Structure 1
Amino acid sequence: MARPRKPLLSRDRIAQAALALIDEEGLAALSTRRLAAELGVSGPSLYNHFATKEAILDAAADTVVAQVDLSMFDALAARAGGGRDGTGRDWRGALLAWGRSYRAALTDHPHIVPFLATGPGLRPAGLRMADAVFGGMVEAGWPAAQATRIGALMRYFVTGSALGSFAGGFVGDAAAYDPADYPHLGQAHLLPGHREQVDQGAFETGLRALVDGLALQYQELRTAGG
């Protein structure tokens, strides 16, 4: 039997095509008609794999989250007590590594970040990530309620940092920053040319400040708990 000219449809192929379309043109570009055309199939054939367009979007979003490394939380659980010696070493390193991997995945697919910012919903990779972070923090000695807050806090910070560029929000025209009006912005027109350096540096500064602040709270909990 001759092989089909076009690869057969699958949930993964549809999700990947949807993500590619969103990456190129934004969330508004995704429609079942447009996606079917990109895949070279009829629109109704998509519904053999997904009940709605929203389900396709969920799968595309989950494809991004699946790229985030979670192995650092497995290491915490395997250490029989993780950071419970009070040093905070293990869980701090886990949060730093996860935060960097999480942001890298989002900045590779910036157009889908606003959708991801709404939370994991019932998306498997998103739920696995939430489970790994919560479990890792509890294993390290955080109370369950605080572990939940830490997961939420990190998500707010990482998704917020990936939603846009601070440096990219300035224009490259020095004349736009008249020193009479903006005496401290004489170099602001140079920021767009250093976008990656500025934005990545800001993220690292904030991430370390956030984790260092949590370490102080962790020490307070340890002290209060005797």
Structure 2
Amino acid sequence: MPGPQPLTRERIRDATLRLVDEFGLDAVSMRKIAAALGVQAPSLYAHYPAKDDVLRDIAQTVADQVDVSAFADGWRAGVLSWARSYRAAMVAHPNMVPYLAFGPSDRAGALDRADAVFGGLTAGGWPPRRATMISASIKYLVVGSAISSFSSGFPDEKAVYEGRYPHLGQAHLLRERAGEIDQDSFELALTALVEGLGHPPSR
């Protein structure tokens, strides 16, 4: 009969991410991580000194799914691929979004990706200030679309709307189509933003 699995950083990260996905960031502690793994909290400290060290590693793992390689094919292709993969990484773990968006900016790889985005935009002809604004605009769009669902604000009871909100007769159906609506709305905003940028100024 096989013995207990050895405690590894990977197992700790996986258990922590499951807790974050289910209960949110604020509900996670080293004690709860240890309980989920069937060990005592002190045994975690040989691998991670504190909860934030675990979260930093998780954030890096999630952020590593963001693809900036398409800037080699031009700034438009780069922005679209970057934004879509950025959002996909966040949507997969929505409770991590606040940490990914506002957590430490010195995580391994974060500055490499920022450099690739800024370099791709400036190589495509955008002046540095405009490239910075484009990068920021994409981040606002991605984080805003990932942090909550548009449909979550609408009750799914038809009676709420009948007789009082004549233009919201189908609003009770929004929640059952939330994923589709959120994805399509993100694509609408992203393509409108990129198309609205037009072309870089002539040099």
TM-score scaled by structure 1?
Answer: 0.81
Unaligned runs of 5+ residues in structure 2 are none
Q: Displacement of 1:120 after TM fit? A: 5.1
Say yes or no: does 1:149 pair with 2:147. Answer: no
Partner SS, residue 186 of structure 1: coil
Say yes or no: does 1:215 pair with 2:198. Answer: yes
In the alignment, what sits opposite 1:27? 25
Q: Displacement of 1:54 after TM fit? A: 1.6
For 1:97, the aligned partner's letter is S
1:171 and 1:49 mapped to 2: Cα distance?
44
In the alignment, what sits opposite 1:6? 5
Larger mean CA deviation between 142-151 and 183-192 belongs to 142-151
In the alignment, what sits opposite 2:171? 188
1:69 to 59, 67, 70: 67
Say yes or no: does 1:198 pair with 2:181. Answer: yes
- Structure 1 runs of 4+ off > 4 angstroms? none
Partner SS, residue 117 of structure 1: helix
In the alignment, what sits opposite 1:85? none
Say yes or no: does 1:128 pair with 2:112. Answer: yes
Partner SS, residue 48 of structure 1: coil
Larger mean CA deviation between 166-175 and 201-210 belongs to 166-175
In the alignment, what sits opposite 1:42? 40
In the alignment, what sits opposite 1:158? 142
Answer whether contact 1:19 1:61 (CA < 8 A) is retained: no
Unaligned runs of 5+ residues in structure 1 are 77-89
- Provide, for residues 47-98 of structure 1, a one-character-per-residue CA deviation record: whole Å limited to 9, x for no partner: 223332222212222221112222213x24xxxxxxxxxxxxx211211122
In the alignment, what sits opposite 1:81? none
1:29 and 1:214 mapped to 2: Cα distance?
41
Partner SS, residue 49 of structure 1: coil
Q: Displacement of 1:119 after TM fit? A: 5.2
Q: Displacement of 1:122 after TM fit? A: 1.5
1:194 and 1:63 mapped to 2: Cα distance?
29
In the alignment, what sits opposite 1:93? 77
Answer whether contact 1:68 1:101 (CA < 8 A) is retained: yes
2:46 and 2:99 mapped to 1: Cα distance?
24
1:109 to 87, 93, 98: 93
2:122 and 2:15 mapped to 1: Cα distance?
37
Answer whether contact 1:27 1:111 (CA < 8 A) is retained: yes
Q: Displacement of 1:4 after TM fit? A: 6.2
1:115 and 1:21 mapped to 2: Cα distance?
14
Answer whether contact 1:133 1:151 (CA < 8 A) is retained: yes
For 1:211, the aligned partner's letter is V
2:189 and 2:44 mapped to 1: Cα distance?
42
Cα RMSD (Å)? 2.0
Instruction: Number of aligned residue pairs: give it.
Output: 202
2:11 and 2:120 mapped to 1: Cα distance?
32
Q: Displacement of 1:162 after TM fit? A: 0.6
Answer whether contact 1:72 1:97 (CA < 8 A) is retained: yes
Tell me: CA distance 1:17–1:4, structure 2 relative to 1, closer, same or farther (3 Å): same
TM-score scaled by structure 2?
Answer: 0.89
Tell me: CA distance 1:186–1:8, structure 2 relative to 1, closer, same or farther (3 Å): closer
Say yes or no: does 1:139 pair with 2:123. Answer: yes
